[in-house]
Amino acid sequence: MAPRAIVTGAAGLIGQYVVKSASRWAPDRQVHGLTRAELDLTDFVSVERTWQFIKPDIVVHCAALSRTKDCEQDPQLAHRVNVEATAHLTRLCKDIAFIFLSSGEVFDGTRGWYREEDAPNPINFYGKTKLEAEQLVLQNPRHTVVRIVLTAGTSQNGDRSFVEDMCRAAQGGKPVTLYGDEFRCPLPAGAIARAIWELTGKGLPGLYHLGGRERLSRWEIGQALLPWYPELQGRLAEGSARSHTGGSRPADLSLNCEKIQTHLSFRIPGFRSWLKDRVHRGVDLWDYEPVCREA
């Protein structure tokens, strides 16, 4: 019987890519993608029933309350979804591989190019829940945490990636203000999915960072997307994080990914090089099979 894998958050951006790319990067696995509509992970009785029925050999946990604004507005829900549900899953998966998708938001953003050994210091509630969940996951030496930052791609409902958020605002006639002093290392979801499947295939638990090779400001990211999204023309405006009035946002969440790169068969791309390569090859910008140069 083929090994059975469960992917939570299968309707989310990364979960969707992990499920749909499995036939390419994990063809030997029988993959069960679970959406929030199919299974509420905070309903522990239903979760245990599902686990007993599927009997997974590996779990990739992508589900989360991931928008920082939502976490600040309802911290109780954020803790239940991001921490308590994760803790429950780790207990159910105590004897199998478990991969938890975390976030660079566990850092305060004061320096950038963070390594796995750098001390976390979250400055918003979302980051705090992710750090607490990480600590629970890593108590089991079989389990893995992968920190990511900013993910590009297309989702089922068109409302999960930062690219979709920008385009939706522009199409609604709203200006899109992008901070020139807030830095990220964006990476397409297709590359993240491939990296996750390769990591699980090699059985390498632990803590890893996974982001793009380029450190770009939000403004630079928007400029890089302009040639491919005409609806953004005339809608982008450069701003400063100093004028931000919402919840706390780390200034620089670039991640050093040397550790995970040593285990991958492909070179992790930079965001702008990804865009150029896709156009050069004549393939969709965000499809499920990333064309990356071999490592």
Task: Give the pLDDT of the chain (295 residues) as one tens digit per residue.
Answer: 789 999 999 999 999 999 999 999 999 999 999 999 999 999 999 999 999 999 999 999 999 999 999 999 999 999 999 999 999 999 999 999 999 999 999 999 999 999 999 999 999 999 999 999 999 999 999 999 999 999 998 887 767 788 988 999 998 988 899 999 999 999 999 999 999 999 999 999 999 999 999 999 999 999 999 988 999 999 999 999 998 887 899 999 999 999 999 999 999 999 998 888 877 777 778 876 555 554 4
Per the structure, the complete domain to which residue 196 belongs is given by 4-155+187-213+254-281
- Residue 148: predicted pLDDT: 97
In a domain, 286, yes or no: no
In a domain, 131, yes or no: yes
Q: What is the CATH number of the domain that holds 23?
A: 3.40.50.720
Question: Structural domain tally of the chain?
Answer: 1
- Residue 292: predicted pLDDT: 52
In a domain, 219, yes or no: no
In a domain, 266, yes or no: yes
DSSP for 84-113, please give it.
Answer: IHHHHHHHHTTTSEEEEEEEGGGS--SS-S
For the chain, what is the total number of helices (H) and then of strands (E)? Answer: 12, 12
In a domain, 170, yes or no: no
What is the C-alpha to C-alpha distance for residues 78 and 108, in angstroms, rounded to an integer? 19
Q: DSSP 3-state assignment of 80? A: helix
- Residue 56: predicted pLDDT: 98
